[in-house]
Structure 1
Amino acid sequence: MFDADLAGFGLRVTARGTKTFLFQYNAGPHVKRRVVIGTFGAEMTTAQARKQAEVLRGQVRESRDPVAERRAARAAALEAEARAKAAEAAARYTVTAMIDQWAEHHLSQRSASYRRRVPRELKAALSDWKAVPAASFAHADAVRVLDAVKAVRGPVATNRLRAVARACWGWAVKRGAMERNPWEVTPQPAREVARERVLSDAELAAIWHAAGRLGAPWTAILRLLILTGQRRGEVAGMRWAEVDLEAGVWSLPGDRTKNRRPHDVPLSAEAVGIIRAVRRRKADRLVFEGVNGNPPSGFGKMKARLDAALADAARQGGPEVAPWTLHDLRRTVATGLQRLGVRLEVIEAVLNHVSGSRAGIVGVYQRHGWAREKAEALRGWAAHVMRYVDGGAAVSNVVPLRKAR
């Protein structure tokens, strides 16, 4: 029922006897609106309800729509609350938090050394932004980081940083954690070409001898890199449980290889001798046990010491070694095996490559492990290296293991 004196003011009584005050008005042709004012009794008296109805009536006379205004106010409040929650979540989603989540979820299938190294290097390059919300990291910030890294570490290292940073932010964008990737349109610091540096036999022998001046663990690590052609992280992280010195086999589990596949490396007599000479303490888990039971770190400092030793040897009449990287040792082993007439499939098996002849459908159905061939190849390679280390061969005297095919 409606009040006779105040148009639109009414009282609705339900079957249970609940009495509710309301105000009804026209919001346009054929459009009626109702505003619930309150419940009669403890909540509201008739006089209070009438006063509110009079206010609503005044709003209608001013061509306002109280219901629409209330809906808009509620929507604005919900939107403001959502924005506040989003801002709070964005503030918590810092650059460090994003990198940690990326490493945990996206890098879970990569090798353990990669999962440790890449997030650490990325955080180091972004040290000034680690506590900053990732969404606020701008394109100009990315360019500034790249310029700083390029000035200190050079263009190739900057290319690597740009690639992993783009991947990290891109992962976050795909997950809806942010809307844009500030690294996407940054300029590439340098154009890269495929690496082709292969050390000569004389250079390899010079590195072998210079490594002897470094002491433990680097002398053994470098010489094993030369003899086996394996990755530096795999050699440095070698575990005693992986090596069978009697059988002459080093068995890498899948979680320690780049392609996540188990890999058996035949050990030549020279490689076995190097490992046997390592001083082993009872509690050691790793062959080259470092601080806190971790593999040795500091490859950059070691390489600087090694280059200094090579330069000193060159001044005393030894061969000059042109600029090189540790990864060049792996390429040199592959090229050396090829020069010795080893089949491509065997070389790829030695290096644990899943590419070339072992890729695609061939890799699915070709399950031959090449164990005998790998052992023969690495024995031949060790003999070849030791001839130059001992100074008993000329560079041109390469004796193939078999006729090249």
Structure 2
Amino acid sequence: MSFDARDIKLLPVGEHLTSPDFPGLRITASAGGRSWIYRYKSPVDGRMRQTKLGKWPAMSVHAAIAAWEQVRLGREGGVDPALIAKAAREDARRQLEQRRLAAEREAYTVAKVCDDYYLGHVRLSRARKGATEVRRMFDSMLGGTAGIPAAELTRAQAFDLIKSYAESAPVQASKLRAELGAAWDYAIDSGRLPETAANWWRLILRGKIQSKGKKISGKNVGTVKRVLSGEEVGTLIRWLPNFTALVEDVLTLYLWTGTRGAEICGMRGAEVTREADGLWWWTIPKARTKNARHANASDLRVPLYGRARNVVFRRRERFGDGFLFPARTKDVRPVEQKTVQVAVYYHQPYSQTTPNVQRSRLPISKRPVCTAFFP
């Protein structure tokens, strides 16, 4: 049977035409059109195989016969055209995948590593305040490093970024270095960075970034700390009424309970109970403590005595089981610890906030250990 154009056009789907003049050459009909096929026995392993030569009518009968002749001669020479075509396709796919990965790695910049780490880990596992600080560091401190392809980052580039902050802000430099190191680990674990990618952030300036201590009035006062003497504590307690009622109450709880500012500011009336021993206890849920991430940690139990108990009773009478130190906002939430710190700083002898405003100044300061009282 010859390959007549009319017969090819009328060929039903699933059928094929052959010709005794061209052994192995056939045209098949499918839902996608008509295709020229060469069917043969492999000279490599003797298995029946076929290879596509082209589509009709784009490939005419004469062109199909010429293509058939070429692959047939190759088969007679020991070449399996189907295996050759398969190898070519696999090589093309491999090259395409390599180009895709190269483009992806080039586009996967330092900034995108940080974004993935923040969205996939920090935002989900850190408290809001801590997560916000990490986001702020990534947004404001990466500079030109943000646009560098992460897989191509050099040790020198990582060093230059951290070193640029180490002199003026060593604490921030250390924090940035640690968060970038964790971000790199996250990217390597997720497969977005190759396992061979060096985590330079873990290696540079190890143990070489030293804090210069606190600054007061633009001068470094060092890292030496002190505690207040009994007489100074008495002076401070007598001075507390110079603050607003909220700040005075928060500072009183600092002194009488020794708990953290975030725990005090987030205190709820429902957390305070009188127990069988007749004593009043404040139970701080584990989720609000610094040990929240440790599986074996428990709630923090704080006994309430003296002025601390009086403060809590007075505020429970006013605010019930809700926040005892509510913020003045439309949404219901506790006052932020920073609000208390700012209020204390405002009364420090060295505070330059609105210097022309007359106000009482704290009689005790100078590098105390309690930064909540003396920001």
- Inter-partner Cα distance in structure 2 for 1:317 and 1:222: 13
- Inter-partner Cα distance in structure 1 for 2:189 and 2:302: 39
Change (3 A) 1:72 1:221: farther
Report deviation, 1:121: 1.0
Of Structure 1 and Structure 2, the greater helix share is in: 1
Partner residue in 1 for 2:114: 95
Report deviation, 1:187: 1.4
Partner residue in 2 for 1:274: 311
1:252 aligns with 2:295: no
Partner residue in 2 for 1:220: 249
1:200 aligns with 2:234: no
Report deviation, 1:268: 1.1
Percent of paired sites with the same residue:
21
Change (3 A) 1:115 1:62: farther
1:117 aligns with 2:145: no
1:53 aligns with 2:58: no
Gapped regions of structure 1 (runs ≥ 5):
14-18, 108-113, 330-405
Where in structure 2 are the equivalents of 1:111-260 lying within 5 Å? 114-128=126-140, 135=150, 138=153, 142-143=158-159, 146-147=162-163, 149-150=165-166, 154-179=169-194, 180=197, 181-188=199-206, 190-191=209-210, 197-201=225-229, 202-208=231-237, 212-244=241-273, 247-260=279-292
CA deviation profile, 1:86-124 (whole Å, cap 9, x unmatched): 82995896522321211356x3xxxxxx52232211110
The answer to which of 66-75 and 38-47 deviates more is 38-47
- Inter-partner Cα distance in structure 2 for 1:312 and 1:267: 34
Report deviation, 1:270: 0.9
1:230 alignment partner, SS class: coil
Report deviation, 1:43: 10
Change (3 A) 1:327 1:319: closer
2:202 corresponds to which letter in structure 1? Answer: E
Indicate the RMSD between aligned Cα atoms, in angstroms.
5.1
1:309 aligns with 2:309: no
Change (3 A) 1:137 1:117: farther
- Inter-partner Cα distance in structure 2 for 1:174 and 1:320: 48
Report deviation, 1:320: 4.8
**Mapped contact 1:94–1:134 kept (Cα < 8 A):** no
- Inter-partner Cα distance in structure 2 for 1:63 and 1:304: 86
**Mapped contact 2:271–2:283 kept (Cα < 8 A):** yes
2:280 corresponds to which letter in structure 1? Answer: G
- Inter-partner Cα distance in structure 2 for 1:239 and 1:134: 48
- Inter-partner Cα distance in structure 2 for 1:280 and 1:326: 30
Report deviation, 1:250: 0.5
CA deviation profile, 1:107-150 (whole Å, cap 9, x unmatched): 3xxxxxx5223221111011056996994694566545534554
Partner residue in 2 for 1:10: 24
**Mapped contact 1:11–1:22 kept (Cα < 8 A):** yes
1:257 corresponds to which letter in structure 2? Answer: T
2:130 corresponds to which letter in structure 1? Answer: V
**Mapped contact 1:217–1:288 kept (Cα < 8 A):** yes
Report deviation, 1:286: 1.4
Partner residue in 2 for 1:352: none
- Alignment counterpart, residue 74 of structure 1, candidates 64, 85, 90: 90
Aligned residues: 310
> Which protein, 1 or 2, shows the higher relative CO under an 8 Å CA cutoff with sep ≥ 6?
1
Report deviation, 1:211: 5.0
Change (3 A) 1:190 1:218: farther
Gapped regions of structure 2 (runs ≥ 5):
1-17, 28-34, 213-222, 293-297, 352-359
- Inter-partner Cα distance in structure 2 for 1:250 and 1:61: 91
Partner residue in 1 for 2:371: 326
- Inter-partner Cα distance in structure 2 for 1:173 and 1:40: 46
